[in-house]
Chain A
């Protein structure tokens, strides 16, 4: 077992970590929603994304303006090429002031450059003043979350740390007591230290003012009491003016923890009066850390990541982070953005490991207040790194040679779609050769006859006779084609009954998502262009229906991107895009009347790519048509842990995520789970069968076919 898998196992068996992250996940989603009441989150997000999206020239111009403004207010500005230069400069300032201690207020940039270790090596004692940072400093660890660095610890562990390191008495569950100890203990150091070190959340160029946010007030004290203040920051913190800065301050705390605003925002301009400095005013330094930033500016991937305002919320919602924590899903920077930043600032091999732990659920992209397309960025950077460190050639050739060529699809067992690859594993699993950790779900076997074959044989001939209320073009996707033909057939029967005719592609080609998610853009391009040939013209149908939201999202967001140079195909896709619907949306638009065939308590799992890709969830629809029978589940839009290849590469992580889903399902007491994604069905049904629970997992089409009368 390699080192990464060992660390994964350790994290998964850490109960404290699991409980803390779980509580936080659940509370966060609620408070995030409350904090944005009265705002249009998507609007704000676009605004912030725009503010932070700057070209290299613009960013450097802002820097020059900022520099001029702070220098004229008595501050010094130093540009450090790399971590070492930054640390050297800071240490030399501390030495000049014979500062035995320095107080620090949480700064990710200081973490990035490894400042604490460097200062210690030089005989200077840094004291973290943010309670969370201080706790992990005592524990000699790195932060496991950008905003809540000690989220992986519980009160008992903190009490123990305090007793061991501070020689104080404190009860295991006396949190207030621990906070009092911190207050008392740390107060000393503000007055002992000659230097205070902080980061900055925003740097306003028009005046040269920085904004620092804290809840504890430690930032305010760190910048007030000591005679010297050093600010460590990256060029990405610069904004033009206060209007922009305030927009960032508006979203940052809301996204970070669901707080309306942080308790303190300290706005500092220049060398203000200082009581402890013999000169009577503060000695103020700005250390701008390059660390490759300048070289990477102008690169579309890096520019996108530069928009980050370090709110940490991408980690809050990430299902993989949610079971692994930031010491596995992160390096110095944690969570989804951490995966990306690690590839820029730290070890890119380590970055590749983290990136590979992404299951592609898009929760991070949805929550990011700076409008960063994180999941796409992750896939693309992963693709680049895999190229450097060796492409998984087996998977690569599966994409280009098999998935893109429908003719070679003879017999489902040979198909390399990742969905099917997991099935293939499962048959081997049944032969008991596969390690136990893969055995957490029962997987289906490929059907002997594909959906298309059955449809053409049994249903196609009668389509002309269907009452012409509308024409539906159905795009089956690999999973329905080979694993769950009945899902497609239920849908076709149902639509025929209410007067809509159904047609399907002449040939089935994978939508290309597995390749996209793996960052294999070349293969993805090939597959998508193949698709483009086989799709009908936009005016041949009224609806383009998908029963797999992942296929739907790929068609909707990527097909046009990959056919830019094919005028006819592009046009076809452009016209088609507007007609893409999932099943619940289609039924909702048809406005059918509904009657259940008896009492049935059901719940609904929102597939990741449903809400976040197709922007329509069946939940509202079902609640509307069957209000008496629907029970909502806790964290209903949380990923089920499937993620295609992810669940094969990291079965233990996939299982941990699935366990949470199944626990939520069980606590609803529903006897049916309805969802609209074959991947989710495979995962959830498989897990439920493995646990032997009397709960059915059905696609919406099967559910309606079986339990409801529509007319």
Chain B
């Protein structure tokens, strides 16, 4: 698992993400201290912090959400996004913060196939996100934040190995 997590962090860094590695206690103190600075919070596995606002054309400053899986091979987070407001929050925030537990980091792209199959049997929208929104359409010069977030941070919660 360690190698997988390291690879994920390496690939995540490669696309310009800020990586913050914390244990559960560490993450809780981040929430306690900085929780108020987020406009939108949605955490699947940690109760009591969710904060939902409706997101319109102007967008929001900061969103913090938990990913369902991550893929080490590509540095990708897999986010169940069927709820439209959730999708808006993650698309229209200036800074996006993604939480992922280390046990949820998969090695290769194919390993997410089963989840995808099971999950999209019904109506659904799943997003793979790998870094901040970017374009190189003018003279191949890389520029961040063309439509979506300009900045992305990963909180990787290290869990005890079971």
B146 at the interface (CB under 8 A from A): yes
Say yes or no: A264 contacts B124, CB within 8 Å. Answer: no
For window 70-119 of A, CB contacts with B under 8 Å fall at 73-74
**In the complex, A273→B123 CA distance in Å?**
9
Say yes or no: A224 contacts B82, CB within 8 Å. Answer: no
**In the complex, A20→B136 CA distance in Å?**
12
B147 at the interface (CB under 8 A from A): yes
B128 at the interface (CB under 8 A from A): yes
Say yes or no: B127 contacts A267, CB within 8 Å. Answer: yes
Say yes or no: A242 contacts B133, CB within 8 Å. Answer: no
A132 at the interface (CB under 8 A from B): yes
A274 at the interface (CB under 8 A from B): yes
B44 at the interface (CB under 8 A from A): no
Residues of B within 8 A of A537 (CB): none
**In the complex, A155→B139 CA distance in Å?**
7
Task: Choose, from B29-37, B60-68, B107-115, B153-161, the stretch at the interface.
Answer: B107-115
Residues of B within 8 A of A183 (CB): 145-147
* A207-B121 CB under 8 A given contacts A23-B140, A216-B147: yes
* A27-B124 CB under 8 A given contacts A246-B109, A246-B112, A261-B74: no
Across chains A and B, the number of contacting residue pairs, with CB separation under 8 Å, is 183
- The smallest C-beta distance from B38 to any residue of chain A, in angstroms, reads 20
**In the complex, A274→B136 CA distance in Å?**
31
> Which residue of chain A has the shortest Cβ distance to B141 in the bound complex?
A175
Say yes or no: B140 contacts A20, CB within 8 Å. Answer: yes
**In the complex, A247→B109 CA distance in Å?**
8
Residues 133-154 of chain B, each 1 if its beta carbon lies under 8 Å from chain A, else 0: 1111111110101111100000
Residues of B within 8 A of A241 (CB): 113, 117
- CB < 8 Å neighbour of A270 from B87, B122, B145: B122
**In the complex, A176→B113 CA distance in Å?**
37
**In the complex, A169→B21 CA distance in Å?**
43
Interface size class of A (residues with CB under 8 A): 35 or more
Say yes or no: B123 contacts A20, CB within 8 Å. Answer: no
- CB < 8 Å neighbour of B147 from A73, A129, A176, A268: A129
A24 at the interface (CB under 8 A from B): yes
Say yes or no: A182 contacts B146, CB within 8 Å. Answer: yes
Say yes or no: A224 contacts B140, CB within 8 Å. Answer: no
**In the complex, A521→B136 CA distance in Å?**
43
For window 45-82 of B, CB contacts with A under 8 Å fall at 56-57, 59, 73-76, 82
Residues of A within 8 A of B57 (CB): 187-188, 190-191
- Looking at chain A's contact residues, the main secondary structure is mixed
* A221-B138 CB under 8 A given contacts A267-B120, A267-B128: no
A225 at the interface (CB under 8 A from B): yes
Residues of A within 8 A of B113 (CB): 241-243, 246
**In the complex, A260→B14 CA distance in Å?**
10
Say yes or no: B74 contacts A260, CB within 8 Å. Answer: yes
Residues of A within 8 A of B145 (CB): 179, 183
Residues of B within 8 A of A266 (CB): 125-128
- The smallest C-beta distance from A5 to any residue of chain B, in angstroms, reads 29
B11 at the interface (CB under 8 A from A): yes
B88 at the interface (CB under 8 A from A): yes
Residues of A within 8 A of B134 (CB): 215-216, 263
A148 at the interface (CB under 8 A from B): yes
Say yes or no: A130 contacts B137, CB within 8 Å. Answer: yes
Say yes or no: B136 contacts A257, CB within 8 Å. Answer: yes
- The smallest C-beta distance from B58 to any residue of chain A, in angstroms, reads 9
Say yes or no: A73 contacts B133, CB within 8 Å. Answer: no
- CB < 8 Å neighbour of B143 from A150, A175, A191: A175
**In the complex, A257→B137 CA distance in Å?**
12
Residues of B within 8 A of A206 (CB): 117
B84 at the interface (CB under 8 A from A): yes
> Can you add 19 more A-B contacts, CB < 8 Å, to A264-B148, A266-B126?
A155-B141, A175-B141, A182-B146, A187-B59, A204-B120, A215-B134, A216-B134, A218-B147, A221-B92, A246-B109, A247-B109, A264-B128, A265-B128, A267-B116, A267-B120, A267-B128, A269-B125, A270-B123, A273-B83
The 10 closest A-B pairs by CB, nearest first: A217-B148, A132-B137, A265-B128, A270-B123, A242-B113, A269-B120, A217-B133, A261-B74, A131-B137, A217-B147
User: Which residues of B pack against A, CB within 8 Å?
Assistant: 11, 14-15, 56-57, 59, 73-76, 82-85, 87-88, 91-92, 109-110, 112-114, 116-117, 120-141, 143, 145-149
Q: Can you give 19 contacting A-B residue pairs, CB < 8 Å?
A: A73-B122, A148-B136, A153-B138, A175-B138, A175-B141, A179-B143, A183-B145, A187-B57, A188-B57, A204-B120, A217-B149, A221-B91, A246-B112, A263-B129, A269-B120, A269-B124, A272-B123, A273-B82, A273-B83
User: Which residues of A pack against B, CB within 8 Å?
Assistant: 20, 23-24, 27, 73-74, 129-132, 135, 148-151, 153-155, 158, 175-176, 178-179, 182-183, 186-188, 190-191, 204, 206-209, 215-218, 220-221, 223-225, 241-243, 246-247, 249-250, 257, 260-275, 281
